[in-house]
Structure 1
Amino acid sequence: MAGAYDDERLARAAVRALVAEAELTPRAGAVRDDLTAVRWAAQALQPGFAAMAAAARRNAEPTRELREELGFIGRSTERSMLRATGGVNTHRGSIWSLGLLLASAALQPGAPIAELTATAKRLATLRDRSAPRLPSPGSTVSARYGAAGARGEARAGFPHARRALAALRAGTGRPDVLLSLMSTLQDTGILYAAGPHGLRAVQAGARDILDAGGTTTPDGAAALASLDADLRRGELRPRGSAALLACGIFLDDVASTWPPKQGPAARGRAARDRAVTA
């Protein structure tokens, strides 16, 4: 049975995913002088992630009550992170996305990834009556351009995170997985800062690198350097794609380290095996 130990394991897995994403290299659009702050911000989220897992385990079902508790914990966790980092807010979208996936993993230990993302989707569609109604950059561009944003991604069952997971399992390097996400995601942060034309330029730049063979080839590395310069010039960071890569890394971690959920037949065979060996 899942317990506090598993809550902490899930929280640590979420933090590991965020740190792995932050340390990823080579990449385009990274701010190289704030890596320490990004790592510190990820570590500051661990108690909140553990609280989310505990809340899910306590509620035992993906109810609106759980959704609202997760929202409350997420907002409190974000404030704690801001205090710990002196106002550096690098993981806001990740708190939402990873929080839903982590809660789903706590609800269904060992469940297949498709079940976890379906449960996260169900939670994301439930209304949080206590959520602030103030517009955010993401909600603003979602309304203006019809972009899905982090909420739309969750309500669709995390298609980009599942795609990242499939690529990771197929052996694709993480820098190229990130570029694959950048090539198709309607990143609301980039939309807000640079509009549709800027987003299309970023997507095209990511595709150019992949078409050149990826980041490990000379042509791909040259294309990466060009995209990196463009992003730095425009002060653009693909945070949405980065957050979904972290989700893919988290799902890969969970799938690799949690034993698969056993059905009744498998549990019956295991019980018989124990009786035979006793």
Structure 2
Amino acid sequence: MLAGLALSAESIGRAAVLALHDELALSPKPGLVTLTSNGSHRDMDARTFLRSMSALRPYFVEIAGLGAHGAPFPDLEQAGLRAEARMLAATGGVNTHRGAIFLLGLLCAAAGAVAAAGWPPTPASIRSTLIDRWGEALRQRASRPSSLPGGIAARKLGLRSASEEAALGFPAVFDIGVPAMQSALTRGLPAEHARLDVFFHLMAVLDDSNLAHRGGLDGLRFAQDAAREFLALGGAAHPDAIPRAERLSLAFEARWLSPGGSADMLAAVCWMRRIGALGAVM
């Protein structure tokens, strides 16, 4: 963890890659790739994700530096497109981290700007900087129709897209994921159980376009209802949390559901913990 240390572009970027590994290593994680399972995927496994992470590390450092130097949104966007090309080259054309390139990239840029201003990295300072610096550009981006499968599904079903989530300053991350992580750690949950609790809190509320693309509105509601039931029964603090999550993994795989948006947001919360933004609960 980087609490108490001055943040640099290098440390911000390194924390992003470590956070992606935190997300990958969490298991069980219904429908998603872990170190021991392909989840609801035939075209990728943990090795695919690790190759992608290695390819993306320079990008997260680069975009943190761009943020520190006050780069306009088109510069961030171009860096993201170059990173996506490197990801696809490393994975043989498999999309492992497109959502994380967008979400974590923006957060790294905001953290770079926060560090350059001499402010402490907190969820509030990172979110406000993101909105103040690039909010208008993100709102304009959100108004453009997406050609990606998740964006098409979101528009068809009347759901909030990833671009709209970004334009609002990622409310699922800051209003749901961060408080869930702080609560879990304050209650003394081990780190892996805390990540599991955060994951289910996110899945319970997020209009996850990956779920909508794969399972339609019924698939999305099935996943949200399953997450809410998991939390209502005690979440990751319940003695049977792991077996219950394993049973849900089987149910998600039977329906070919993959909550990739929730995974990306879990990684964002893990990243904030790694850069010291969650303070004393770490």
Report if TM-score (shorter chain) is over 0.5: yes
Report the CA distance between 1:111 and its aligned residue. 4.1
Q: Could you say which residue in structure 1 is the equivalent of 2:3? A: none
- Asked if 2 retains the 8 angstrom alpha-carbon contact of 1:27 and 1:228, the reply is yes
Give 5+ residue unaligned stretches, structure 1: 60-64, 259-278
Report the CA distance between 1:244 and its aligned residue. 0.5
- Asked if 1 retains the 8 angstrom alpha-carbon contact of 2:207 and 2:220, the reply is yes
Q: CA deviation digits over 1:17-46, x for unaligned, max 9?
A: 111001112221123141122122112111
- Asked if 2 retains the 8 angstrom alpha-carbon contact of 1:124 and 1:155, the reply is yes
Residues 1:238 and 2:259 aligned together: yes
Residues 1:114 and 2:124 aligned together: yes
Report the CA distance between 1:153 and its aligned residue. 1.6
When residues 151 and 124 of structure 1 are mapped into structure 2, their CA distance, relative to the original with a 3 A threshold, is: farther
Q: CA deviation digits over 1:254-273, x for unaligned, max 9?
A: 23599xxxxxxxxxxxxxxx
Report the CA distance between 1:186 and its aligned residue. 0.8
Q: Could you say which residue in structure 1 is the equivalent of 2:155? A: 143
Pairing of 1:150-229 with structure 2 (within 5 A): 150-162=162-174, 163-170=176-183, 171=185, 173-215=194-236, 217=238, 219-229=240-250
Q: Could you say which residue in structure 1 is the equivalent of 2:42? A: none
Give 1:45's aligned amino acid.
Answer: L
What is the CA–CA distance in structure 2 between the aligned matches of 1:41 and 1:26, rounded to whole Å? 21
When residues 81 and 124 of structure 1 are mapped into structure 2, their CA distance, relative to the original with a 3 A threshold, is: farther
Give 5+ residue unaligned stretches, structure 2: 1-6, 39-44
What is the CA–CA distance in structure 2 between the aligned matches of 1:11 and 1:220, rounded to whole Å? 32
When residues 16 and 187 of structure 1 are mapped into structure 2, their CA distance, relative to the original with a 3 A threshold, is: same
- Asked if 2 retains the 8 angstrom alpha-carbon contact of 1:100 and 1:124, the reply is no
Provide TM-score, normalisation by structure 1: 0.81
Give 2:250's aligned amino acid.
Answer: A
When residues 48 and 180 of structure 1 are mapped into structure 2, their CA distance, relative to the original with a 3 A threshold, is: same
When residues 180 and 133 of structure 1 are mapped into structure 2, their CA distance, relative to the original with a 3 A threshold, is: closer
Q: CA deviation digits over 1:209-251, x for unaligned, max 9?
A: 2222224535544432332112111221110000001111112
What is the CA–CA distance in structure 1 between the aligned matches of 2:164 and 2:155, rounded to whole Å? 12
Secondary structure class of the residue paired with 1:183? helix
- Asked if 2 retains the 8 angstrom alpha-carbon contact of 1:30 and 1:237, the reply is yes
**Structure ID, larger Rg:** 1
Q: Could you say which residue in structure 1 is the equivalent of 2:41? A: none
Q: CA deviation digits over 1:44-91, x for unaligned, max 9?
A: 1111111111222223xxxxx621001000000010111112222111
Greater Cα offset, 116-125 or 37-46: 116-125
Secondary structure class of the residue paired with 2:27? coil
- Asked if 2 retains the 8 angstrom alpha-carbon contact of 1:180 and 1:210, the reply is yes
**Comparing both chains, which one has the higher relative contact order based on Cα–Cα distances under 8 Å and sequence gaps of 6 or more?**
2
- Asked if 2 retains the 8 angstrom alpha-carbon contact of 1:208 and 1:223, the reply is no
- Asked if 2 retains the 8 angstrom alpha-carbon contact of 1:212 and 1:219, the reply is no
RMSD (CA atoms)? 2.3
Pairing of 1:1-278 with structure 2 (within 5 A): 6-31=8-33, 32-33=37-38, 34-59=45-70, 66-109=72-115, 110-122=120-132, 123-126=134-137, 135-162=147-174, 163-170=176-183, 171=185, 173-215=194-236, 217=238, 219-256=240-277
Shift >6 Å, 4+ stretches: none
Q: CA deviation digits over 1:177-224, x for unaligned, max 9?
A: 101111111101111111111111111111122222224535544432
Provide TM-score, normalisation by structure 2: 0.80
Q: CA deviation digits over 1:70-115, x for unaligned, max 9?
A: 1000000010111112222111011111111110110111243212
What is the CA–CA distance in structure 1 between the aligned matches of 2:135 and 2:247, rounded to whole Å? 37
Give 1:147's aligned amino acid.
Answer: L
What is the CA–CA distance in structure 1 between the aligned matches of 2:11 and 2:52, rounded to whole Å? 18
